[in-house]
Amino acid sequence: MRQVNVALLGAGTVGGGVVNGLRRNGPLMASRLGVDLQVRRVVVRDVRKTRDFEVPERLISTDWKAAVTDPEVQVVVELVGGTTLAREMILGALRAGKRVVTANKALLSAHGEELFEAAVRHGAGLYYEASVAGGIPIIKVLREALVGNRIARMYGILNGTCNYILTRMKAERAEFGAVLADAQRLGYAEADPGLDVDGYDALHKAGILASLAHGFWVDVEDVAVEGIRNVTPLDMEFAGQMGYTIKLLAAIKTVEGGAAKGRSKGSGKTGAHVSISVCPTLVPNSHVMASVAGVFNAVYVRGDIVGDTLYYGRGAGRDATASAVLSDLADAALDLNCGGEERIPPFVPHERHGAVMPSGEMISGHYLRLNVTDRPGVLARIATQLARNKIGISSVIQPEGHEGESVPLILMLHDAPRKSVDRAMTAIRRLPVVKAEPALFRVENFE
Amino acid sequence: MRQVNVALLGAGTVGGGVVNGLRRNGPLMASRLGVDLQVRRVVVRDVRKTRDFEVPERLISTDWKAAVTDPEVQVVVELVGGTTLAREMILGALRAGKRVVTANKALLSAHGEELFEAAVRHGAGLYYEASVAGGIPIIKVLREALVGNRIARMYGILNGTCNYILTRMKAERAEFGAVLADAQRLGYAEADPGLDVDGYDALHKAGILASLAHGFWVDVEDVAVEGIRNVTPLDMEFAGQMGYTIKLLAAIKTVEGGAAKGRSKGSGKTGAHVSISVCPTLVPNSHVMASVAGVFNAVYVRGDIVGDTLYYGRGAGRDATASAVLSDLADAALDLNCGGEERIPPFVPHERHGAVMPSGEMISGHYLRLNVTDRPGVLARIATQLARNKIGISSVIQPEGHEGESVPLILMLHDAPRKSVDRAMTAIRRLPVVKAEPALFRVENFE
């Protein structure tokens, strides 16, 4: 049987999962694929560090350059994370003609275009299933299973930490801060949780999915993102009364003839105009995305031929991510069989006129929670500001039983462009009857 | 750009979807894949029949033999259905060295082993994504995305007709017969609905999934199957009271050291022992499978590394099936690039000691609905028969408000081997207080 040798760069959580996975299921994979995957090198920062998995000492070193140029190595797996050394390692490995597997979404988000170009230039292959949504094979689905489809809509619950926190906030009527602290204690949230709870991790993943689906490099740097810090148990309760659950939802939509900026370069051609948002979003309880709970992720994809599809699984963690790396290792090994390059280039830029729509142009319904003085006439003042910006109100909740100077007031707003809503919000914030920073979330009806 | 020529055998519903799909998205697929897919031949029974899609007249013929041996054709798509002519066509095409795409689950279920062997022998490639769960890429997921996993559990809602009927029965408290008639009128059920509503279609698909996941040819001929004809609105209501929804569920489980028959050939070796069931099943409302409604299908897969994953989409219909065929066409075209055979053989028989566990050995909880005489002592007699077979009762519902000589009595039974339950049922059916044929469904808690 043909043997394929692997160099692992990084032996942390996911690296350990890959080593354990190959030990447990390597023979099974060999019988399924006809290829024997062997770990030949493990590159670490500190060779003496204690690890919770077994690697023969002779395989361990700190010399990544020797690993990526080792003529006995055919596939390099980058699991060090970060965007500096990891970039250098991947470029070095591609230059040496190695196939590279990576789980690094932050790196792909920041330097994907450069890395994909390098992979094609060196005919080397770059595999990144583990970079988005862990154990969910969404990269393979978009590149292969749905290759005959135009992707009209994509919705993602892409950050397990946020979904875990929101699920517990809803079930326990608990505050964000308390659940975050507990999640950190249990290992479901990082000590520095900003990348997750402020939405950037989900945005990086959404950018990779959007690029892949729409065939142009989607730069998410200018995309407005909002995390889950402003969601309160009260919001969960009000949303629930109206038949909704609050999720951190990434929404990627194609827009017909919308104004767009970015790559269209004033050519006048209308290409794929795409809107992207990542923010707390009210999802109808009857929709299957509302039932995605805890650390699980899900991606909902609407293709113009296949219709609606959903892919669900663990989005992070040692084993789910390792499973995706094993799948990429299998693909890399099978591509080696074929001699040449990857079956399909890692990213195919086929859309010359693609552009991202400015977030102000995006139309959607909104949930607005205000803290207002408890006296007659307040609603009238707020409704006036909304009306001035042509925003209709579909329902109002003024819950009873709240004591004190200020009380919550919840409004559900009809579909309106975000820039109109933002304009109205500027005026509403200035009203003397409005006592605290309002919370404004999107409503998504999956139409 | 390289051109790949396709012969379509059969131009019915799905054939039309493939033709339309290639017309609409062929250029997009070409830019994504670097391959131009062209329909070169369309083989039909009657060339003069009116069709709701356009095919140039010069491509249409009735001569399938000429089509599968045409040296200009590289890929043959079999969409005629049935198990006689379709088998001949596929074997003929494989013999001629063509790659073959098929959506024919009945054929694969009956003759899959022979067809897969022929594909390997002729180095020709057999692709069958469209044969199971339509637009859900479950074949690709099992063969590629989860290749690093042992599959511990697989649960499928695999028949859209049944799921549509059950969903409407629950929502409208309607009888099976009335909903079936309406489904037939709307085109969601065949004029002869037996293959769907009696569970055989789901069983065929479950057999293909089990074979693929467990690496030995799973013959479902002896597997007990029960369709949905015995489900009543009353069952929906009682199940709902206890927090369950009734689905036609295929359950495929590996069993540790269970007694098994089939391929183990008395070797004494313990291989993958697999239990398979297809029957009406109570699914907890809190489980994501309970929210799979209408014509949608879903497959829930538990891998030993990835954990729990779910794949959801339309299981049938022109476009969803066509999307799967387009994906297979893309794979076939990319495999042609590679010159040789398929990347992975269509079916890899790697488990030498696999066997299917007899259904009597399967352990599960059950829902039992009886029609009994309305007088004291009835429950005692039934409980006695259950106790004699060591079957515990977890709850009993005796709904009030039922008039007449006989009344419904619902029991939830603890986990027990099916053969014990069947033994108890034989005794219970003979009791004079039992007035009609009982309904017995499985309870699945996804453990």
Last-in-domain residue among A328, A356, A384: A356
Residues on chain B touching A296 (C-beta within 8 angstroms): 308
A318: closest CA of chain B, how far (Å)? 9
Q: Do the Cβ atoms of B332 and B187 come closer than 8 Å?
A: no
Query: Is A104 found in the same domain as A20?
Result: yes
Count of domains for chain B: 3
Cβ distance B307 to A320 less than 8 Å, yes or no, reads yes
Query: Is A181 found in the same domain as A108?
Result: no
On whether residue A344 sits in a domain, the answer given is no
Catalytic residue of the set A105, A205, A247, A253: A205
Contact residues, A window 138-157, toward B, CB-based 8 Å cutoff: 140-141, 143-150
Rounded CA-CA distance A196/B292 in Å is 29
Residue type at B271? G
Q: Which residues of B4-41 are buried (b: 16+ CB within 10 A; e: fewer)?
A: bbbbbbbbebbbbbbbbbbeebbebbbbbbbbbbebbb
Residues on chain B touching A153 (C-beta within 8 angstroms): none
Integer-rounded Cα radius of gyration of chain B: 24
Which residue in A28, A148, A296 is closest to B150 by CB distance? A28
Give phi and psi for A115, each to the nearest 5: -70, -40
Those residues of chain B that have pLDDT short of 70 are: 257-271, 339-342
Contact residues, A window 314-353, toward B, CB-based 8 Å cutoff: 314, 319-320, 322-324, 326-327, 329-331, 334, 337-340, 343-344, 348, 350
Inform me whether the C-beta atom of residue B16 falls under 8 Å from chain A C-beta atoms. no
Query: Is B398 found in the same domain as B304?
Result: no
Q: Do the Cβ atoms of B282 and B246 come closer than 8 Å?
A: yes
Residue range(s) defining the domain that contains residue B96: 2-127
Cβ distance A330 to B17 less than 8 Å, yes or no, reads no
User: Can you give the pLDDT at residue A155?
Assistant: 98
Q: Do the Cβ atoms of B138 and B309 come closer than 8 Å?
A: no
Rounded CA-CA distance B433/B407 in Å is 10
User: Can you give the pLDDT at residue A259?
Assistant: 47
Query: Is B148 found in the same domain as B103?
Result: no
Rounded CA-CA distance B289/B282 in Å is 11
Tokens of A330: 């299998």
Inform me whether the C-beta atom of residue B125 falls under 8 Å from chain A C-beta atoms. no
Cβ distance B343 to A337 less than 8 Å, yes or no, reads yes
The CATH number that applies at residue B28 is 3.40.50.720
Integer-rounded Cα radius of gyration of chain A: 24
Catalytic residue of the set B98, B205, B247, B253: B205
| 10-residue mean pLDDT series, chain A (447 residues) | 95 94 96 95 93 90 97 97 96 97 94 94 94 95 97 97 97 97 93 95 96 92 93 96 97 74 47 90 94 95 98 94 97 84 79 87 96 92 97 92 84 97 97 94 96
The bridge status of strand B99-102 relative to strand B126-127 is parallel
Q: Is B205 a catalytic residue?
A: yes
On whether residue B151 sits in a domain, the answer given is yes
Cβ distance B144 to A338 less than 8 Å, yes or no, reads no
Query: Is A288 found in the same domain as A154?
Result: yes
C-alpha dihedral (A264, A217, A444, B311), degrees to nearest 10: 140
The CATH number that applies at residue A259 is 3.30.360.10
Query: Is B291 found in the same domain as B227?
Result: yes
The ipTM of this complex is 0.93
On whether residue B154 sits in a domain, the answer given is yes
A31: closest CA of chain B, how far (Å)? 6
User: Can you give the pLDDT at residue A272?
Assistant: 72
Cβ distance B305 to A319 less than 8 Å, yes or no, reads yes
Q: Checking phi first, is residue A220 left (phi over 0); if not, alpha (psi -120 to 50) or beta?
A: alpha
Which residue in B143, B326, B337 is closest to A147 by CB distance? B326
Element (H, E) at B64: helix B64-69
Tokens of A115: 């890395």
Angle of helix A105-121 relative to helix A85-95, nearest 10 degrees, comes to: 20
Residues pairing with B3 in the sheet? B36
Q: Do the Cβ atoms of B417 and B425 come closer than 8 Å?
A: no
Q: Do the Cβ atoms of B199 and B191 come closer than 8 Å?
A: no
On whether residue A347 sits in a domain, the answer given is no
Cβ distance B327 to A148 less than 8 Å, yes or no, reads yes
Cβ distance B330 to A147 less than 8 Å, yes or no, reads yes
Which residue in B145, B147, B304 is closest to A32 by CB distance? B147
Q: Which residues of A362-392 are buried (b: 16+ CB within 10 A; e: fewer)?
A: bebbbbbbbbbebeeebbeebeebbeebebe
Residues on chain B touching A303 (C-beta within 8 angstroms): 135, 323
Which residue in A145, A291, A334 is closest to B327 by CB distance? A145
Rounded CA-CA distance A174/A162 in Å is 14
Tell me whether residue A336 is exposed, middle or buried, using C-beta atoms within 10 angstroms of its C-beta: 0 to 12, 13 to 18, 19 or more: middle
Rounded CA-CA distance A273/B146 in Å is 34
Query: Is B269 found in the same domain as B147?
Result: yes
Residues 6+ apart with CB under 8 A from A14: A79, A103, A130, A318, A321, A322, A325
Residues on chain A touching B152 (C-beta within 8 angstroms): none
Cβ distance A313 to B291 less than 8 Å, yes or no, reads no
On whether residue B324 sits in a domain, the answer given is no
Query: Is A369 found in the same domain as A307?
Result: no
Cβ distance A307 to B291 less than 8 Å, yes or no, reads no
Query: Is B279 found in the same domain as B173?
Result: yes
Q: Do the Cβ atoms of B313 and B135 come closer than 8 Å?
A: yes
Give phi and psi for A366, each to the nearest 5: -135, 155
How many C-beta neighbours within 10 Å does residue A64 have? 23
Q: Do the Cβ atoms of B275 and B252 come closer than 8 Å?
A: yes
How many C-beta neighbours within 10 Å does residue B339 have? 9
Cβ distance A311 to B310 less than 8 Å, yes or no, reads yes
Contact residues, A window 161-200, toward B, CB-based 8 Å cutoff: none
User: Can you give the pLDDT at residue A340?
Assistant: 61
Rounded CA-CA distance A140/A129 in Å is 7
B292: closest CA of chain A, how far (Å)? 7
Rounded CA-CA distance B154/B308 in Å is 10
pLDDT digits (tens, 9 = 90+) for B228-251: 999 999 999 999 999 999 999 999
Q: Which residues of A89-111 are buried (b: 16+ CB within 10 A; e: fewer)?
A: bbbbbbebebbbbbbbbbbbbbb
In chain A, whose CA is at the least distance from the CA of B352?
Answer: A31
User: Can you give the pLDDT at residue A270?
Assistant: 56
Rounded CA-CA distance A178/A73 in Å is 47
Q: How many CB pairs under 8 A join A and B?
A: 197
Query: Is B149 found in the same domain as B108?
Result: no
Tokens of B358: 């007899």
Rounded CA-CA distance B201/A20 in Å is 39
DSSP labels, A312-346: EEE-SSHHHHHHHHHHHHHHHHHHHHTSSS-SS-S
Residues pairing with B77 in the sheet? B8, B101
The CATH number that applies at residue B374 is 3.30.70.260
Last-in-domain residue among B356, B375, B407: B356
Cβ distance B146 to A21 less than 8 Å, yes or no, reads no
Which residue in A150, A313, A348 is closest to B307 by CB distance? A313
Element (H, E) at A253: strand A244-255
B116: closest CA of chain A, how far (Å)? 15
- Please say whether the dihedral angle defined by the alpha carbons of residues A259, A416, A236 and B294, taken in this order, is positive or negative: negative
Contact residues, A window 400-419, toward B, CB-based 8 Å cutoff: none
Query: Is B435 found in the same domain as B397?
Result: yes
In chain B, whose CA is at the least distance from the CA of A286?
Answer: B291
On whether residue A342 sits in a domain, the answer given is no
Residues on chain A touching B337 (C-beta within 8 angstroms): 338, 340, 343
Which residue in A148, A324, A340 is closest to B326 by CB distance? A148
Rounded CA-CA distance A43/B128 in Å is 41
On whether residue B327 sits in a domain, the answer given is no
On whether residue A265 sits in a domain, the answer given is yes
Rounded CA-CA distance A77/B309 in Å is 24
Q: What is the maximum alpha-carbon separation in chain B?
A: 81
Rounded CA-CA distance A9/A70 in Å is 13
* DSSP 8-state code for residue B129: G
How many C-beta neighbours within 10 Å does residue B153 have? 17
DSSP H stretches of helix in B122-243 = 138-140, 160-172, 176-186, 194-197, 200-214, 233-241
Q: Do the Cβ atoms of B280 and B230 come closer than 8 Å?
A: yes
Residues on chain A touching B354 (C-beta within 8 angstroms): none
Q: Do the Cβ atoms of A238 and A410 come closer than 8 Å?
A: yes
Inform me whether the C-beta atom of residue A1 falls under 8 Å from chain B C-beta atoms. no
Which residue in B150, B334, B344 is closest to A343 by CB distance? B334
Last-in-domain residue among B97, B127, B157: B127
In chain A, whose CA is at the least distance from the CA of B20?
Answer: A305
The bridge status of strand A244-255 relative to strand A151-157 is antiparallel
Inform me whether the C-beta atom of residue B288 falls under 8 Å from chain A C-beta atoms. yes
Cβ distance B144 to A331 less than 8 Å, yes or no, reads yes
User: Can you give the pLDDT at residue B341?
Assistant: 62
B50: closest CA of chain A, how far (Å)? 23
Q: Do the Cβ atoms of B203 and B162 come closer than 8 Å?
A: no
Query: Is B439 found in the same domain as B369?
Result: yes
Cβ distance A344 to B309 less than 8 Å, yes or no, reads no
Sheet architecture: strand order including A75-78 = A60-61, A35-43, A2-9, A75-78, A99-102, A126-127
Q: Do the Cβ atoms of A162 and A197 come closer than 8 Å?
A: yes
